[in-house]
């Protein structure tokens, strides 16, 4: 029976050769700037107050708790579209359900590292994933590496996208979320608020393993017979038993992406070669798949590749500092970009 005693995360493969750069990230919060853009425009009226907030050196859950305390509401009445890094300057939206009664004077809200940039209203609570994209501005200090090789890798990323790995932060410090997930699946009781974190970690781990195998056989971007493809910038997709020239062209143009399973109850939708790879991962980690089924998760799909929009780079301070700017859709990780060019 599989256990995660002394667990360490696998070294999942890179897509454009081994990274040769190294340096320091997050030396100060301003080295990691994230700005989220919602997938819709708040209407200006409704039962939910929408707050545009800049936070520095604090995590999203901390801000949610402070807002709930200030507005005298339950924390479940607070919504946000995505979790944002703590060691960063991040701009994101929160919602507060206040259908009646006096609205707090938001100018009086005070929490360390938190600034309210704007207030409006909307008819519905802000839900996870309701983002168009996140915009990143990252500074790598004390950069060392081969400049030409790094530029070649960045050029490939700009043209072909990156492997859509879940970032290591998904798995907790030294992968401890995976240890706790397996313990939970084996009957150990865990706090309700932690349960979803461990379930997400287990599903993310299986997805990363599938993606790694697709990178090893060089089909993560070109596709396999039996794949389920997802349209770029959309959750829509379709199954394809036999790849033809039209599909190949759309894949080459980054209009379509192969997908990997987010394990749960239901149909994989893949077949033939693509299903064979996914099933081999599930067979290897049966303790995780059984646990995910027992907790009632539903099958879903995630793109194996993601386009990196508006990617620019600049080497400064006599090539000892690297500044990167780019945008990613909701659910994709800036560290997935960094890991292709440097040891993170």
Report DSSP state, residue 16: S
Enclosing H/E stretch for 55: strand 48-56
Tokens linked to 242:
């036999």
Report DSSP state, residue 166: P
CA separation for the pair 295, 9 (Å, rounded): 23
Report DSSP state, residue 123: S
Whether 21 and 342 have beta carbons less than 8 Å apart is answered as yes
CA separation for the pair 269, 302 (Å, rounded): 12
Tokens linked to 233:
């910038």
The sign of the torsion formed by the CA atoms of 230, 167, 174, 35 equals negative
CA separation for the pair 160, 154 (Å, rounded): 10
Write 252-256 long-range contacts (CB < 8 A, 24+).
Answer: 254/160, 254/161, 254/305, 254/307, 255/231, 256/223, 256/229, 256/230, 256/231, 256/232
Catalytic residue among 5, 85, 244, 300: 85
Active site residue 310: no
Q: How many CB atoms lie within 10 A of CB 26?
A: 16
Enclosing H/E stretch for 93: strand 89-97
Whether 338 and 19 have beta carbons less than 8 Å apart is answered as no
Residue 58, burial from CB neighbour count under 10 angstroms (0-12, 13-18, 19+): buried
Annotated active-site positions, please? Answer: 85
């Amino acid at each position: 029976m599989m256990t995660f005693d002394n667990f360490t995360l696998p070294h999942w493969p890179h897509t454009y050769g081994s990274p040769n750069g190294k340096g320091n990230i997050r030396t100060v919060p301003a080295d990691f700037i994230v700005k989220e853009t919602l997938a819709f425009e708040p209407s200006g009226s409704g039962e939910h107050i929408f707050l545009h907030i800049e936070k520095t050196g604090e995590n999203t859950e901390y801000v949610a708790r402070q807002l709930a305390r200030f507005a005298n509401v339950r924390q479940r009445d607070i919504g946000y579209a995505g979790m944002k890094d703590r060691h960063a300057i991040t701009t994101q939206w929160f919602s507060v359900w206040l259908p009646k009664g006096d609205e707090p004077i938001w100018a009086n809200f005070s929490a360390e590292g938190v600034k309210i940039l704007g207030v409006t209203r909307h008819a519905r609570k802000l839900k996870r994933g309701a983002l168009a994209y996140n915009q990143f501005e990252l500074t790598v200090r004390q950069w060392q590496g081969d400049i030409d090789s790094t530029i070649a890798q960045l050029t490939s990323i700009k043209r072909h996208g990156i492997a859509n790995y879940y970032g290591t932060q998904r798995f907790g410090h030294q992968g401890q979320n995976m240890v706790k997930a397996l313990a939970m699946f084996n009957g150990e009781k865990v706090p309700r608020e932690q349960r979803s974190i461990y379930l997400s970690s287990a599903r993310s781990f299986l997805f990363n393993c599938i993606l790694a195998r697709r990178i090893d056989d060089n089909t993560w971007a070109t596709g396999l017979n039996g794949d389920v493809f997802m349209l770029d910038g959309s959750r829509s997709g379709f199954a394809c038993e036999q790849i033809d020239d039209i599909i190949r062209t759309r894949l080459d143009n980054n209009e379509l992406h192969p997908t990997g399973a987010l394990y749960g109850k239901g149909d994989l939708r893949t077949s033939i070669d693509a299903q064979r790879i996914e099933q081999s991962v599930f067979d290897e980690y049966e303790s995780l798949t059984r646990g995910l089924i027992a907790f009632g998760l539903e099958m879903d799909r995630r793109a194996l590749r993601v386009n990196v929009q508006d990617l620019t780079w600049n080497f400064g301070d006599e090539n000892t500092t690297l500044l990167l700017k780019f945008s990613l859709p909701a659910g994709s990780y800036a560290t997935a970009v960094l890991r292709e060019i440097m040891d993170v």
